[in-house]
Structure 1
Amino acid sequence: MSAALREFVGSARFAQALTLLAVGLAFSTHAVRSIIGTPGLIAAIAGLVVLCGASLVARWRAVEWYGILPLTILVFIGWCAASVLWSSLPALASLARVGYLVAFTFVGIYIALMRDTIQIVRAFGDVMRALLGASIVLEVLSGIILDIPIRILGIQGVIAQLGPIQGVFGSRNMLGFVALIALLTFLVEWRMKIVQRARAIASLVLAGLCLVFSGSPTTWFALGAALVALAALYGLRRASAPTRWRWQIALLVTGVVAIIAGWIFRIRIIELLDARSEFDVRLTVWRELSRYLNLNPLQGWGWVGPWPDAPPYTWIELATGRPHGSALNAYIDVYFQVGVIGALLFIALLGVALVRAWLLASTRRSVVYVWPALMLVAIAVTSFAESFALVEGGWMLLVVCAVKAARDMSWRDALSLNPAARGGV
């Protein structure tokens, strides 16, 4: 690599552009696949990985490699790769799907290494504004101006009937998930004064409109959990250091009680959210999955990510009478694909990252530390009704937050009784 080229690909501006490109591509895979096909999407991802690799090599000496990756990510990826040995798919197809997971893992690690948290929040904010803005424009064009569907993107043009809409994301639940991520990101931008007040308010209105028009009941549940987490963090950040751990324990107990109560009154909650039909669809899928889980409970059927048109996934679709791209639950999905071991590893990955991010958000002075914690809360709750956390943008976001949390707080720091060691003031 020549000196001029090395300087170019190793520059901060190049890393900034790559971050914007990576976030944009990861969350617009449906639109890209619909327009240029799966081969085009694979080529775009491969090109992105090559560019990220070149940038990483150029800035090799500037990266602090000690403790670069959470062990939970490495072990989970390793187990998914090992599942190729017993996968229900042909070996090459299984390897390709593991490679797809590894590609987004690498891109997420690159973003976490090359950009600080403020820069990552900026990048996500800019990309979400563009994607949500494009979604609203296309929905208005389809549903009001032209009054015809945009079939290539799956847009039905029903915004005049107040939705549900899906924008450029392929489903209303994915639009709701992205709108939730955007809303929380815009809140952090506003509190940090990263953008002007008028732009922040317009961004919040845009995210709110997309969330409402998506008509996604699962997103409303995740939004409620995220707002509760935000309120809890608001109180914890203002508590004195000696009493903060008592409040943390009290919140943990309250959270456990809330989960138990939610399970007991789940039917009533589903009825209040008008989500009975959504729940029935998921329940049917989960019942069918349970029939096949008994055959490979320990190691699963092998990692596939998005469901392929192959057994046993086609058998489940035939039994339920409709196509599915996932198990509509990340925890059940990962259990089905990589067994009990894989499910425990995934829960450990998400749980450890969330605990680290939560401790950072509640003890560090800067508001920016709240962002990874809110993202992980949104992912953890949404994963009970969707599998976004296992693929593409959702997985990449999980990796970014997990790596950032691990680099900013080791377990030795987290367990230290000295507030200064935890980053407290």
Structure 2
Amino acid sequence: MATPSAPLLPSAARDFLGSAMFASAVASLIFLTGFGTHLIRSLIGWPGLVAVVLGLIGLAAVSLWFRRSHLEWHGTLPISLIVFVGWATVSISWATSTTVSGVRVGYLLAFGVLGFYVAVLRDTIQVVRAVGGALRTLLIVSLVLEVFSGVLIDMPIRFLGIEGRLASLGPIQGVFGTRNELGFVALIALITFAVETLTHSIPRTLGRWSLLLAAVCVLLSGSPVVIGVLAVVAVASLALFGVRRAPASVRWIWQIAIAAGVIIAGVLIWAVRGRVLSFLNAGSELETRLRLWQEMERYLATNPLQGWGWVGAWPTSPPFLWLNLATGTVNGTGLSAYVDVYFQLGLVGFVAFLALLGLALVRAWLLASDKKSVVYAWLALILVALATVSLAESSALFESGWLLLVVCSIKASRSMSWREALRRRVPGPGPVPSE
């Protein structure tokens, strides 16, 4: 009979649960789930997806417990992240449906917890490899299913949202539900595969084929939104690697020049926004967005400070039902993360979201500029992509986008925390030096 002090698990099991191999497997499963939510929902429904997410949280908790001696807790969570999530949680109290809002906040927190686990337990290069492995799998599955649907049987796979248009070169949706989501995931994959290849994390041949796979998916998605984001990411990449090659003594001048260029470009684009919108119209897609945003602005006038309460993806209840009826469309989001946050969390939540995304981007950019390893460029470019796509999609607020935002913000904060710098510079209590 075992004594009360006897371990509940054999030493081999404890060693496995606390091993880097187990942590790596959990991280890979987290990204497969985060990017594959549409596929999972299509196959086993919402209850199945929730069960998978809860199971991953359980595995992450076990892994954290057995690897707790490896963790450094000081300065881990950015205050901006805490404020945003905290305000979303508080908004349950004034939401039109507290039950729906409470469940959706719980869903937001669940992916936030998974992002926290990945950020604190895996190095940046390990995160890149986990994302790369997950996206290679999902993009290959997407192309296989598109070939099956659009070439072999020439029929859509409706329960997956695949329209079977590969034979006409798209647009395709893959296992992500919409062409915009496929295009954005493929863009994230393009950044990730490039960093994997440059850091020699994968064989060069695999890296080249992976880059080709991501580029093909971006093109076949036919998403004008993603093409625009790709252009911004390309310019940001050139600027970043230009700064990295500049001498350290003049690097700050380049940083100021880049910041000024971004501000000037933003002002110019705003000044000629009418022509820009006409150029990017791509049919009725942009008109749908503008009509929806105008209607959201009208409803927001009644709750400008606190918004209507956090619900994440839109439920089929007021005021979201009214918005869809007024615009004559069926929208599951506000088609812009910034507008969505403003509508759901008001001005306070909007400022908190800007602080979260902005601080994470600035920290990641400075890290990528100063650190020798190119792996830090991944954090900066992913955040550039998230900040840009948030103008036309709400991806950064849900599932894979939110997961990436949490991981990148925590990673950037841990490497460049003002609290940590303050702690190092302010001496603790000790003997008073003699004069």
Tell me the TM-score normalized by structure 1: 0.95
Per-residue CA shift, 1:203-230, capped at 9, x if unaligned? 1111111101111111111111111111
User: Structure 2: which 5+ residue stretches go unaligned?
Assistant: 1-7, 423-435
Q: Which residue of 2 aligns with 1:339?
A: 346
Aligned 8 A contact 2:75 2:419 in 1: no
User: Structure 1: which 5+ residue stretches go unaligned?
Assistant: 416-425
Task: Tell me how large the CA RMSD over aligned residues is.
Answer: 1.4
2:96 is the alignment partner of 1:96: no
Of the three residues 133, 151, 156, the one matched with 1:126 is 133
Aligned 8 A contact 2:289 2:335 in 1: yes
Q: Which residue of 2 aligns with 1:172?
A: 179
Aligned 8 A contact 2:180 2:226 in 1: yes
Of the three residues 276, 280, 283, the one matched with 2:287 is 280
Summarize the Cα distance change of 1:363–1:177 in structure 2 as closer, same or farther, 3 Å threshold: same
Distance 2:420 2:381 in 1: 21
Distance 2:261 2:267 in 1: 10
Per-residue CA shift, 1:251-310, capped at 9, x if unaligned? 111111111222233343344445242210100110110111011110111110110111
Q: Report 1:194-233 matches (<5 A).
A: 194-233=201-240
Q: Which residue of 2 aligns with 1:63?
A: 71
Distance 2:16 2:161 in 1: 39
2:324 is the alignment partner of 1:317: yes
Per-residue CA shift, 1:368-408, capped at 9, x if unaligned? 00000000000000000000000100000000000000011
User: Which shifted more, 364-373 or 255-264?
Assistant: 255-264
Q: Which residue of 2 aligns with 1:155?
A: 162
Q: Which residue of 1 aligns with 2:59?
A: 51
**3-state secondary structure, aligned to 1:403:** helix
User: Which shifted more, 403-412 or 128-137?
Assistant: 403-412
Q: Which residue of 1 aligns with 2:93?
A: 85
Amino acid of the structure 1 residue aligned with 2:21: R
Q: Which residue of 2 aligns with 1:8?
A: 16
Q: Which residue of 1 aligns with 2:337?
A: 330
Distance 2:88 2:336 in 1: 18
**3-state secondary structure, aligned to 2:409:** helix
Shift of 1:197: 1.6
Of the three residues 376, 379, 382, the one matched with 1:372 is 379
**3-state secondary structure, aligned to 2:284:** helix
Distance 1:155 1:180 in 2: 19
Amino acid of the structure 2 residue aligned with 1:123: A
Distance 1:15 1:181 in 2: 23
Q: Which residue of 2 aligns with 1:243?
A: 250
Of the three residues 33, 36, 45, the one matched with 1:37 is 45
Aligned 8 A contact 2:171 2:220 in 1: yes
Summarize the Cα distance change of 1:412–1:55 in structure 2 as closer, same or farther, 3 Å threshold: closer
Shift of 1:199: 1.1
Distance 2:271 2:386 in 1: 23
Distance 1:146 1:217 in 2: 28
Amino acid of the structure 2 residue aligned with 1:232: A
Per-residue CA shift, 1:107-131, capped at 9, x if unaligned? 0010011110001111111111111
Larger Rg: 2
Distance 2:14 2:307 in 1: 44
Of the three residues 22, 36, 60, the one matched with 1:28 is 36
2:163 is the alignment partner of 1:185: no
Aligned 8 A contact 1:359 1:414 in 2: no
Distance 1:268 1:199 in 2: 42
Shift of 1:86: 0.5
Distance 2:270 2:284 in 1: 18
Aligned 8 A contact 1:23 1:124 in 2: yes
Amino acid of the structure 2 residue aligned with 1:224: A
Distance 2:281 2:37 in 1: 29
**3-state secondary structure, aligned to 1:168:** helix
Identity of aligned pairs, percent?
53
Amino acid of the structure 1 residue aligned with 2:22: F
Aligned 8 A contact 1:356 1:414 in 2: no
Q: Which residue of 1 aligns with 2:5?
A: none
Summarize the Cα distance change of 1:59–1:413 in structure 2 as closer, same or farther, 3 Å threshold: closer
**3-state secondary structure, aligned to 1:310:** coil
Amino acid of the structure 2 residue aligned with 1:227: A
Amino acid of the structure 1 residue aligned with 2:30: A
Distance 2:339 2:421 in 1: 30
Aligned 8 A contact 2:80 2:356 in 1: yes
Shift of 1:198: 1.4
Distance 1:192 1:85 in 2: 48
Distance 2:160 2:174 in 1: 8
Aligned 8 A contact 1:270 1:276 in 2: no
Summarize the Cα distance change of 1:95–1:6 in structure 2 as closer, same or farther, 3 Å threshold: farther
Q: Which residue of 1 aligns with 2:113?
A: 106
Distance 1:397 1:181 in 2: 10
Amino acid of the structure 1 residue aligned with 2:324: E
**3-state secondary structure, aligned to 1:93:** helix
Amino acid of the structure 2 residue aligned with 1:44: V
Q: Which residue of 1 aligns with 2:413?
A: 406
